[in-house]
Structure 1
Amino acid sequence: MSSHHFVKEGQEPALLIMDALGLPLIEPLLEWAPQVMVFENALDQVLDWGIKIDVVIAKPDSGEILARKLESQAPVKFLSDNAGEDVDLALYFLISTRQKAVSIVTANADALFDKLDTFLPQLGITLLTDTVKWSGIASGSYKKWLPAASRLLVHGYAMPELPDGLKRSDGAYEVLRDGFVTMAPGTPFWVGEVIGN
Structure 2
Amino acid sequence: MSSHHIVRDDQEPAVLIDKVDESLFSILFSLLEWSPIVIASEQTYEKLLSLDVKIDVIFYQNDKDTIHQNMERQNEFFELVHYHENLLETVLQWLAKQKHFALNFITDTLDGVSQKLLKEQVYINTLVVFADGFKYILNRKSPYEKWIPKGVELVVDSAIQDAENTALLEERRYKVINDGVIKVYHNDQLVIGEKMNVPYDRK
TM-score category by the smaller chain?
A: 0.7 to 0.9
- Number of aligned residue pairs: give it: 186
**Alignment correspondent of 1:138:** 140
* Alignment of structure 1 residues 44-193 onto 2, 5 Å: 44-59=46-61, 61-73=62-74, 74-81=76-83, 83=84, 86-110=87-111, 111-119=113-121, 122-156=124-158, 158-161=159-162, 163-169=163-169, 172-193=173-194
For structure 1, the 5+ residue unaligned runs are 1-7
3-state SS of 2:54 partner: coil
TM-score (norm 2): 0.83
| Paired letter, 2:95 | L
**Alignment correspondent of 2:4:** none
For structure 2, the 5+ residue unaligned runs are 1-7, 199-203
Deviation at 1:44, TM superposition (A): 1.8
CA distance in 2, matches of 1:97, 1:140: 29
CA distance in 2, matches of 1:63, 1:85: 18
1:130-175 deviation digits (Å, cap 9, x = unpaired) = 510000112243111112112211112x1344x2311023662111
1:58–1:85 Cα contact (<8 Å) kept: no
Identity %: 22
3-state SS of 2:124 partner: coil
CA distance in 1, matches of 2:89, 2:140: 17
2:60–2:81 Cα contact (<8 Å) kept: yes
| Paired letter, 2:139 | I
Deviation at 1:108, TM superposition (A): 1.2
| Paired letter, 1:105 | I
| Paired letter, 1:89 | T
1:148–1:176 Cα contact (<8 Å) kept: yes
Which deviates the most, 18-27 or 50-59? 18-27
CA distance in 2, matches of 1:89, 1:99: 14
CA distance in 1, matches of 2:184, 2:86: 34
| Paired letter, 1:164 | E
CA distance in 2, matches of 1:164, 1:115: 27
CA distance in 2, matches of 1:53, 1:85: 20
3-state SS of 1:143 partner: strand
TM-score (norm 1): 0.85
1:15–1:35 Cα contact (<8 Å) kept: yes
